[in-house]
């Protein structure tokens, strides 16, 4: 659905360009008491639920989207594997929120093309 699109590839490139932000070793002031993995999972699941609520989607498409979300989470885990259990700074969390929002936009675009 979206993981094979140019837009998704560009988003992955964008995220890899942001890796220096995630490689900060020192825990900055104001870091969260939850992990980067928690932020990824929460943001992705919230955005997927929003997609399902905002669109009239048949069961097969929903299942495809869930599989895509799993693939996206796998990609994110691969890219950020060394820092997933770190507590994110505000900037790191903002980057993840932005990235997942852009992923949702790709889903929205794809659903609008199909619809």
Residue in 74, 72, 62, 80 with CA at minimum distance from that of residue 102: 72
What's the whole-model pTM score?
Answer: 0.88
- Is pLDDT of 93 > 60? yes
pLDDT of residue 30: 58
Give dist(CA 23, CA 50) in Å, integer: 31
3-state secondary structure of 8: helix
Task: Over range 65-87, report the average pLDDT.
Answer: 94
Q: How far is CA 91 from CA 4, 22, 43, 94, in A?
A: 28, 9, 15, 5
Alpha-carbon distances, residue 12 vs 60, 67, 96, 103 (angstroms): 26, 18, 12, 10
| pLDDT, position 34 | 93
């Amino acid at each position: 659905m979206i993981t094979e699109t140019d837009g998704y590839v560009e988003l992955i490139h964008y995220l890899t360009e942001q890796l220096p932000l995630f490689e900060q070793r020192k825990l900055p002031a104001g870091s969260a008491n939850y992990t980067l993995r928690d932020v990824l999972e929460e943001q992705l699941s919230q955005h997927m639920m929003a997609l399902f609520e905002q669109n009239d989607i048949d069961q097969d498409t929903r299942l495809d989207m869930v599989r895509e979300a799993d693939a996206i989470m796998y990609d994110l885990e691969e890219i950020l594997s060394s820092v997933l259990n770190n507590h994110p700074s505000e900037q790191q969390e903002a980057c993840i929120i932005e990235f997942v929002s852009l992923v949702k936009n790709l889903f929205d675009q794809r659903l609008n093309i199909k619809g």
